[in-house]
Amino acid sequence: MKRLVLPFTLAVLVTSCACALTAPLATALLSPGDAQWTTQTTGTSQNLWGVQFVDDHGGWAVGSGGTIVHTADGGTTWSEQPSGVHVPLYAVCFVDALNGWVVGGGNTILHTTDGGASWTQQHGSEPADDYLSGVSFTDLQHGWAVGDYSTILHTANGGTTWTSQTATGTWDLSDVTFLDTSTGWAVGSGVDPASPGGVGAILYTTDGGTSWNQQDSGTKQPIAAIDMFNQSLGWVVGDGGTVLRYNGSIWAWHTLASHESFADVAFYDSLTGWAVGATKGDQSGGVIIYSTDGGNSWYDQSTTDKALNAVAVTPSGRAWLVGEGGAVYTTDLSGPAQPSSNPSQGTGVPASPTSATASPMPMGPAGKGNGTPWSLIIGLAAAGVVIGAVAGYVIIRAMQRRGQQPPAGPPAPAGPLTPPPPGTLPAPAAWRPPTPPPPAPGRPMAIPPGPAADAAATRVLPPTEAGTEAATQVAPPLDTSGKAPDEPPTAPGA
């Protein structure tokens, strides 16, 4: 038994080490919290307010001072495109690699048909203190732009002309998205005529904007951005850590942290997406939160030293963030992605409503700070137990073999055992006759000399006067006198 203690201890240690190594490995393999964000250099120090990519290579970001920067290689290099304006630009929307629109201060609308090599101004006669902050196109002809003072503009001819649409109430609108030429949403903040005080505004239309109706947001916080996957699933984010999820009938309210102000949200399928913004208080900077269960739960993924203003995700799962001082960050999710059914919008992803690929396998429920699938962790931990058990068995067998002598030669053939000839096997030099145990007190035991002593046998002695327990002792057989060896010897002359 003692020989097994050390091998067993080593086996336990090996198993523990294997489990300790495999569990973090599971987390490192699939935990979105461990995603690495890579900084990219745009060549501008202007604050960037909007971003969009048409695929994993071509993208645009827009910002203060009329800034437009473009990349054709996934952000490895960025180059500035001349916008012809100096007002801040807040949102960008491309329906393909060539045709796009940008909106900004002074109710400016810019349009390109050559991927941004040249831009023409379609709108911008309003006072410079007015602004458009969101834009969405469903195709080359139909688009909407929204801004402050309840501004909603619509075009049905690619922006050649823009007409105003009205919504009941006074709203400062920050973002807009349309799923098709009829169904769309606009979000922001303002005053609801039906209730006193400011509210987070969610406006909804099913007739292309001819009429707009208000949906109950359940919050008084300003809403900054919206991303809709389909008519029954969408998300909005805003001030005060506000994150809302739409289930087709109501907006469920999730307030994450009062010190965070979210500026944008983007999902690349029905489960996986990001929201970005800025922290408030003494330590200002950027914040990234992430969901893998459709926005039911979120967790902090990363923070930056610069406020983040917009996020864009491609159908393959690659994401870009932009923020103050020209900051750009990117990351890449592995695995297949399900393209969004949402057409192009201000900071969204262009995708055909009819296109579809295999939906990714849902990752396990992710609470804040935990996005690792527990099934993978348990599986790898079980593998660690198996590895430890096998290693322990190998150690035990090795140590057992180490304590055994190898056979001197091949085994003897089977057959009856015969004694060797006399004198061929001399007794070992170190052999001594076995020393019998001392007799029990009061019962001396005689072991007569002679050949009978060599044939000692083991038997159990009865209890003695000095003891109450039977003892196993070596006792010889009867001697030639006929007396048992446990009887006192006969005195001489008796």
On whether residue 70 sits in a domain, the answer given is yes
User: Are 249 and 383 members of one domain?
Assistant: no
User: Are 293 and 228 members of one domain?
Assistant: yes
pLDDT of 357 reads 25
The helix/strand/coil state of 375 is: helix
User: Are 289 and 391 members of one domain?
Assistant: no
On whether residue 435 sits in a domain, the answer given is no
User: Are 463 and 324 members of one domain?
Assistant: no
Determine the Cα–Cα distance for residues 155 and 145; give it in Å rounded to an integer.
9
User: Are 169 and 238 members of one domain?
Assistant: yes
Give Cα separations from 223 to 175, 187, 280, 286 (angstroms).
Answer: 9, 6, 16, 18
User: Are 360 and 386 members of one domain?
Assistant: no
Among 349, 371, 393, the domain-final residue is 371
User: Are 143 and 266 members of one domain?
Assistant: yes
Both tokens of 381, joined, read 């931990």
pLDDT of 21 reads 46
Whether the model pTM is above 0.85: no
Residue-level pLDDT, tens digit, the chain, 494 residues: 445 444 444 444 444 444 444 444 333 333 344 468 999 999 999 999 999 999 999 999 999 999 999 999 999 999 999 999 999 999 999 999 999 999 999 999 999 999 999 999 999 865 667 899 999 999 999 999 999 999 999 999 999 999 999 998 899 999 999 999 999 999 999 987 676 668 899 999 999 999 999 999 989 899 999 999 999 999 999 998 899 999 999 998 875 656 689 999 999 999 999 999 998 765 578 999 999 999 988 888 877 889 999 999 998 889 999 999 999 999 986 433 333 333 333 433 222 222 222 222 222 222 233 333 434 445 556 666 667 666 666 666 766 666 554 444 555 555 555 555 555 545 544 445 555 555 545 444 444 445 444 444 444 444 444 444 444 444 444 444 444 444 444 444 44
User: Are 164 and 307 members of one domain?
Assistant: yes
pLDDT of 393 reads 67
Among 332, 354, 371, the domain-final residue is 371
Determine the Cα–Cα distance for residues 107 and 276; give it in Å rounded to an integer.
25
- Structural domain boundaries, residue 164: 32-371
pLDDT of 179 reads 97
pLDDT of 31 reads 38
Report CA torsion sign: 468, 470, 475, 480: positive
Give Cα separations from 99 to 95, 176, 247, 494 (angstroms).
Answer: 6, 19, 32, 134
Both tokens of 318, joined, read 């690659």
Q: 412 Cβ partners below 8 Å, 6+ apart?
A: none
Determine the Cα–Cα distance for residues 395 and 387; give it in Å rounded to an integer.
12
Which residues on adjacent β-strands are paired with residue 311?
321
User: Are 282 and 339 members of one domain?
Assistant: yes
On whether residue 491 sits in a domain, the answer given is no
User: Are 212 and 186 members of one domain?
Assistant: yes
On whether residue 417 sits in a domain, the answer given is no
Determine the Cα–Cα distance for residues 7 and 395; give it in Å rounded to an integer.
6
User: Are 212 and 305 members of one domain?
Assistant: yes
Both tokens of 300, joined, read 């902090």
Q: 403 Cβ partners below 8 Å, 6+ apart?
A: 3
Q: Which amino acid is at 252?
A: A
Which residues on adjacent β-strands are paired with residue 284?
none
Residue 282's CATH number:
2.130.10.10
Say if residues 308 and 287 touch (Cβ distance below 8 Å): yes
Both tokens of 27, joined, read 């987390």
SS3 content of the chain, % helix, strand, coil (to 5): 15, 35, 50
On whether residue 363 sits in a domain, the answer given is yes
On whether residue 117 sits in a domain, the answer given is yes
On whether residue 411 sits in a domain, the answer given is no
Determine the Cα–Cα distance for residues 236 and 217; give it in Å rounded to an integer.
9
User: Are 251 and 389 members of one domain?
Assistant: no
CB atoms within 10 A of CB 70: 18
Q: 225 Cβ partners below 8 Å, 6+ apart?
A: 174, 175, 187, 236, 237, 238, 262, 263, 264, 265, 347
Structural domains of the chain, count = 3
On whether residue 330 sits in a domain, the answer given is yes
